[in-house]
Amino acid sequence: MNRFVSNFTNKLDSKGRVSIPASFRAILVTDGFEGLYVHPALDAPALDAGGNVLLNEIDAFLSTLSPYSDERDQLSTALFGTSEILKVDPEGRVILTDSVKGHAGIADAVTFVGLGHKFQIWEPESFRAHLEEARTKVRDLKRALGTRNMEQRLVQDISPGARER
């Protein structure tokens, strides 16, 4: 499976290195990207990370915008201008720079979170809070979708001619 799944928490060592989870490294190797592409997440205190698949998705999205538009320039700045390509050592570790650690509030440990086509790197407590918020939103969404589906079925059942079907 070529999807980043699950979550893993690892400590930074005394030199500031952290091991990328083995399952994530395997996907990056298959992807063929040399290193690890990271940029500050646009809507969370986390880092988005990946390889060629992530970069290709960013390129495809940016290509839908006019080449010299403010929107494209702003997104390019956010996605490329603040990004870094981190070197992965033979043991599968990377050194997170101060700027990326600062964005995510990372001190001595990180949580790697699979999101399918990419993964995120979080400060562990921030991720726990984010996960709780996400679970609440998903429960609310599930209820809303269930209610909406039930309402649609009721409307179909009581609409003229429904009994004639």
Per-residue pLDDT of the chain (165 residues; tens, 9 = 90+): 689 999 999 999 999 999 999 999 999 999 999 899 999 999 999 999 999 999 999 999 999 999 999 999 999 999 999 999 999 999 999 999 999 999 999 999 999 999 999 999 999 999 999 999 999 998 888 888 887 776 777 677 765 655 444
Q: What is the rounded CA–CA span in Å between residue 1 and residue 119? A: 15
CA distance between the termini of the chain: 45
As a CATH number, domain 7-122 is 3.40.1550.20
Domain ranges of the chain: 7-122, 125-165
Q: Look at residue 22 in the predicted model and tell me its pLDDT.
A: 97
List beta partners, residue 110.
10
Token readout for 142 is 């599930």
pLDDT of residue 165: 47
- Backbone phi and psi for residue 34, each to the nearest 5 degrees, phi listed first: -90, 105
pLDDT at 56: 95
